[in-house]
């Protein structure tokens, strides 16, 4: 697979994470210049449904890497299985979506394979025979092009993760005349022994309730609240709006720092990066550390009583006003629609 880009797609409980299509779109744009072919791999168990969904895209092959030990995510089992698979296949480039799971296991995987990993890139291109990845520096104030030290044509196992929203998943091209790629079911080389790290521990902060982190990158609608919400009990307003829109509630950092919402709901440079179809920013000023985590959202609606708030610079729809008047009225109108 020396002339292949391998996309490591993601699924949870048998459902394909849509951000996998963003990574396929990135691979397709690179393949135009490199001439490399694209394959995809999914780790888990009983992967027929998500593998078939992946195979609908213009990829040469989908590998379903299956084992009972991969049914629930653990970093140990994923690293073990993918290490063996990648070491055997030796693709030129391995691309991942920069999800919570990938942030957890990809650095360990790169270390296990003794390869470099470029993380959280906002773009990739092939220029003058070199693979270049754009990374944001200083909270997004600057961008830098980063390349691999070993960038010879025969180099393999170069690894990079792509920021959520950096590419459009709906631009991932389907197979020619809607043909589907072959799916190869591979038994993963991973022992069915209890993992060293359990799924419940993976993203757990000390003292917090043990549970798997919410992956906001999968949400199509996010209702995010900031300090303008004033009190924890007022979160109910955002939850009601999120409910009628079938969305998820998220927050700026002060809300999570206060313990009003768990840390896995924080958006921004020290939280999650998201790119939903619709992002509500309720009482959020628009500090750079927040914006870097949500600026890729398709439509941003900001409600803020300060007309000068920086969030309005990136909002598609800006409403200057008191969120305590606007949000309940909006929720009621949506309920009627
Ligand atoms: P504020 O800046 O206080 O804004 C509150 C807004 O609510 C104001 O614009 C106000 O006009 C509006 N408002 C008040 N009342 C109402 C009302 N009744 N109706 C409508 N609007 C109202 N922040 C993050 O979000 N995510 C991060 O990951 C993150 N990481 C950081 C990392 C570092 C290293 C540092 C230094 C900071 C980080 N921050 C992060 C913090 C960031 O700098 C800001 O302090 C934070 O984003 C501000 O949150 P906010 O917009 O909710 O609050």
Q: How confident is the model at residue 224 (pLDDT cuts 50, 70, 90)?
A: very high
pTM of the model: 0.82
How many helices (H) and strands (E) would you count in the chain?
A: 9, 17
Pocket mutation for ligand 1, best pick of 137, 227, 263, 300 (most atoms within 8 Å of C-beta): 227
Q: In sequence order, what E strands does 213-331 have?
A: 221-225, 248-251, 278-282, 299-304, 317-320
H or E segment at 160?
strand 158-162
Question: Is residue 195 over pLDDT 90?
Answer: no
Average pLDDT over residues 94-103: 93
Average pLDDT, the chain: 92
Cα 313 to chain centroid distance, Å, stands at 24
109-137: b or e for each residue (b if 16 or more CB lie within 10 Å)? bbebbebebbbbbbbbbbeeeebbbbbbe
Q: Which residues line ligand 1 (CB under 6 A)?
A: 226-228, 252-254, 266-271, 283-285, 287, 289-290, 293, 303-306, 309, 322-324
Percent of the residues in the chain that have a pLDDT greater than 70, as a whole number? 93
Average pLDDT over residues 69-76: 92
Average pLDDT over residues 220-228: 97
H or E segment at 46?
none
Atom of ligand 1 nearest to the CA of 286: 51
Query: Which residue's C-alpha comes closest to atom 3 of ligand 1?
Result: 227
pLDDT score, position 193 = 63
Question: Is residue 218 over pLDDT 90?
Answer: no
Question: Is residue 298 over pLDDT 70?
Answer: yes
Query: Which residue's C-alpha comes closest to atom 27 of ligand 1?
Result: 268
Model pLDDT for residues 240-291, shown as the tens digit of each residue: 999 999 999 999 999 999 999 999 999 998 899 999 999 999 999 999 999 9
Model pLDDT for residues 32-49, shown as the tens digit of each residue: 999 999 999 999 999 999
Phi and psi, residue 34, nearest 5°: -90, -25
Pocket mutation for ligand 1, best pick of 231, 268, 302, 311 (most atoms within 8 Å of C-beta): 268
In which residue are the tokens 């300090």 written? 227
């Amino acid at each position: 697979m020396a002339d292949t880009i391998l996309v490591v797609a993601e699924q949870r409980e048998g459902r394909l994470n849509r951000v996998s299509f963003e990574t396929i779109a990135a691979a397709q744009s690179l393949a135009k210049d490199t001439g490399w072919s694209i394959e995809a791999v999914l780790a888990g168990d009983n992967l027929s449904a998500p593998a078939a969904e992946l195979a609908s895209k213009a990829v040469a092959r989908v590998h379903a890497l299956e084992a009972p030990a991969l049914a629930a995510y653990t970093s140990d089992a994923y690293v073990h299985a993918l290490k063996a698979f990648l070491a055997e296949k030796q693709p030129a480039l391995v691309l991942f979506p920069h999800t919570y799971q990938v942030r957890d296991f990809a650095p360990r995987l790169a270390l296990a394979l003794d390869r470099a990993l470029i993380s959280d890139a906002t773009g990739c291109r092939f220029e003058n025979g070199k693979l270049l990845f754009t990374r944001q520096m200083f909270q997004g104030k600057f961008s830098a092009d980063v390349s691999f030290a070993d960038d010879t044509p025969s180099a393999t196992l170069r690894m990079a993760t792509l920021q959520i929203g950096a590419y459009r998943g709906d631009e991932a091209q389907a197979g020619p005349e809607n043909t589907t790629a072959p799916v190869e079911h591979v038994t993963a080389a991973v022992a069915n022994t209890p993992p060293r790290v359990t799924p419940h521990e993976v993203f757990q902060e000390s003292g917090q309730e043990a549970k798997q982190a919410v992956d906001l990158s999968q949400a199509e609608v996010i209702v995010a609240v900031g300090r303008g919400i004033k009190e924890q009990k007022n979160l109910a307003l955002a939850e009601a709006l999120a409910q009628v829109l079938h969305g998820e509630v998220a927050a700026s950092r002060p809300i999570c720092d206060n313990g009003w919402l768990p840390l896995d709901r924080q958006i921004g440079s020290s939280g999650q990066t998201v790119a939903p179809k619709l992002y509500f920013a309720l009482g959020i000023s628009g500090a750079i550390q927040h914006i870097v985590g949500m600026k890729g959202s398709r439509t941003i609606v900001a409600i803020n009583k300060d007309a000068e708030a920086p969030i309005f610079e990136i909002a598609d729809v800006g409403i200057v006003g008191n969120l305590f008047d606007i949000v309940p009225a909006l929720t009621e109108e949506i309920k009627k629609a």
